[in-house]
Chains A and B, each alone.
Chain A
């Protein structure tokens, strides 16, 4: 079985400061990891993914994430947050060993609030 944990319900950060959103995962096989963002009344938008290769992946809007296999983590980061980054962020995992159809398991989400 696969699972995803986002330990923080909300992250508050001042504009211009670094932003980190935490995610840990559990899968029995090899993970594919994703970050999505959701703005009010809109669907989920893809930010970035880790499949294989470099542990640091870069995505849209200046976001990046670091895959850490030993800590089973995939934290989302942005060096300098913007007010427009305020949104709901979801981490998701797909177990590539047991699931060939792409079903995603999502975390509960982390609300990011960036204050001016």
Chain B
């Protein structure tokens, strides 16, 4: 059990650029969640996958955001035309179906200049 892995750990980009983050969940965890955490706030739910199916998306996830989990294993979160308001920590979590505990990765910190 190597834990949830997120890459990169830090990303600095200029406004208007596209960025992509990757999350590798704990193996055999079929549920995968993305959250966003801004300074001084708790994590906010963005989207959820069960296997390869994206089952729920938050209203926080604008059209510039897209997430995929093509083979039900790793997931990617892409932000197009980044804005300064996108600067945040993006957290990924995974769990087994029927289990209650979500295990979190260390996150990807995005800074949009």
Contact = CB atoms under 8 A, between A and B. Distances in A.
Contacts, number: 61
Contacts of B13: none
A103 B104 contact: no
A103 B41 contact: no
A102 B95 contact: yes
Given A43-B107, A106-B44, A109-B41, A101 B102 contact: no
Interface of B: 4, 6, 31, 33, 35, 40-45, 48, 50, 55-56, 91, 93, 95, 100-107
B106 to A, nearest CB: 4
Interface of A: 4, 32, 34, 36, 41-46, 49, 51, 90, 92, 94, 101-109
Contact of A90 (B40, B43, B56): B43
A51 B103 CA distance: 17
A90 B89 CA distance: 15
B33 A46 contact: no
Contacts of A34: 100-101
Contacts of A45: 104
Given A101-B31, A102-B33, A107-B42, A44 B50 contact: no
Given A103-B33, A105-B45, A106-B42, 7 more contacts: A36-B104, A90-B42, A101-B48, A104-B33, A104-B102, A109-B40, A109-B41
Contacts of A106: 35, 42-44
28 contacts: A34-B100, A34-B101, A36-B104, A41-B106, A43-B91, A43-B107, A44-B43, A44-B93, A44-B104, A46-B101, A51-B100, A92-B42, A94-B100, A101-B48, A101-B50, A102-B31, A102-B100, A102-B102, A103-B33, A103-B45, A104-B35, A104-B45, A104-B102, A105-B45, A106-B43, A107-B42, A108-B40, A109-B41
A44 B31 CA distance: 17
